[in-house]
Amino acid sequence: MFRILITDKLGDAGLQRLEEAEDAAYEMNTDLSREELLEVIPGYDALIVRSGTKVDAGVLEAGERLQVVGRAGIGVDNIDVRAATRRGIVVMNTPHANAVATAEQTMTLMLALSRHTAPAHASLKAGEWRRSDFVGVELYDKILGIIGFGRIGRLVAQRAQAFGMDVLAYDPYVPEEVGQEMGVSLVPLEELLPQADYLTLHSVVTPETEKMINAGTIAQMKEGVRLVNVARGKLIDEQALADALQSGAVAGAAVDVYSQEPPQDNPMLQAPKVLHTPHLGASTIEAQRAVATEIVAQVLDALRGGGFRNALNMPFPAGPEVAAARPFMELGEKMGALLDALAPDSIRQVEVTVEGDQADDLVRPVAAAVLKGILQRSLSVPVNDINAHLLAEDRDITVSQTAGLAPADYPTLVSSRARWEGGQHTLTGALFGDGRPRIVQIDDAQVNASPEGTVLIIRSDDTPDVLGQVGTVFAAYDVGIAAWHMERKEPGKEAFSFVNLDGVPPEGLLQALEKIPAVTALNVAAL
């Protein structure tokens, strides 16, 4: 039974879905202090949060069973994603569920800011009739600058165009063709800022984007610009914006998010010409329903091993197509374990090549699996597809990944070379028609070996009596042999044996094999 903890308010539709899950139980507690969260989190397999819970490295470390952290919403700046990755915990969000609601809130604030809706309402409620004090401006024929042109930014662009606005956008990760299809010009930030009559922010918070709206960028803006932020408060240097509002360099701002929430001693609260809302971007009935049901479905799928939709820290695309890659990943993991067993010293470099029609899609998940196989025997922390690359990086293991055309003999071929100080080994594997993995080459030896169970790899001189001597030792120690594949390049040279055993060989057996003069090397791998 999977146990799921919910620490921020989640819509009833999501809770209903959890109640219907026969293999999961949930508890929702939205009043936990950090100390209380640290105390209870060890008992849960998954954690679902919104923006109110801070999931830092300490919480992740305490989550001994934790497999998934689900963010019901888009932003994950309250989650230490790198720490989660190191622990092998998948972090996922729901980037599309509240996109329409956030785009509509952006337009709401833009219009209300332009027409002084909130102060006019307050004035009328106070018994005043001051029409001339609330003369506004139109959106029509103005230039809107959108910073961050993802899903929400594009929805805002469509709605702004319906008002007759010209739209510029800045996003270094979006190709120009995307903007061209929508009639939006993607331009550098330094070109956007001086032209925009309105600016709206839709970026995530990164070291590069934190406080990107600051005294320097404000100085580049058009005099009298109006700014809307429904993304993240940390995108703005709030003191710099408050100063610009006070001086009149910025004509007005509409703010739905703050660097600290609820805001305390925030200079924006005292600044003039600011319209404030308490983080309402996703606060619609429809968005709350969609966010809740989507994150619950994603978390349950991840716990059940059925897929990792919207995973932010997987080293490869983690949609339903991962199921097709899984057999090749299992092959890669076995190859990694074999390479680890064969290496006499710490592996320093790993090269992974996938050749075949699906090579581009397979190479990244297979590389993660190879690293998992190499690392999992020597590390005390759990190693999985999520943290394998990061753990390898921590150990100064360099990794390269290459995709190529299909070879003549196999529809898809996986190769991995591991290097250490003074040596290297290369394994090549494939899936045969029965779907089972096979090792088809070890270094320059052609084999047809099954990487299953306990495997003993023997290198020996090619002498007439070596097989009989090895077999006699197996019989003496009553160890069964499931399969024995032997290969040699030419008579009299080195021979190579890949032996599948019925169980783990006793230490005495290995010592007896080492005493055979023709045996030059022994390696055992548990697959």
Q: So which residues are the catalytic ones?
A: 232, 261, 279
Burial of 260 (0-12, 13-18, 19+ CB in 10 A): exposed
**Token pair 């300490």 in the structure block, residue:** 58
Contacts of 46 (CB under 8 A, 6+ apart): 2, 3, 4, 5, 66, 67, 68, 69, 70, 299, 302, 303
Contacts of 417 (CB under 8 A, 6+ apart): 349, 350, 351, 424, 425, 426
Contacts of 138 (CB under 8 A, 6+ apart): 114
The DSSP secondary-structure symbol of 476 reads H
The DSSP secondary-structure symbol of 405 reads P
Contacts of the segment 120-123: beta carbons below 8 A, 24+ positions apart = none
Q: What is the CA radius of gyration of the chain?
A: 30
CA dist 213 and 146 (Å) reads 13
Name which of 469, 449, 463, 470 is nearest 495 in CA terms. Answer: 463
Token couple for 143? 């230039």
CA dist 525 and 339 (Å) reads 9
H helix intervals, 445-496? 466-476
Report the 10 Å Cβ neighbour count for 243: 16
Side chain identity at residue 291, one-letter code: V
CA dist 527 and 515 (Å) reads 26
Burial of 503 (0-12, 13-18, 19+ CB in 10 A): exposed
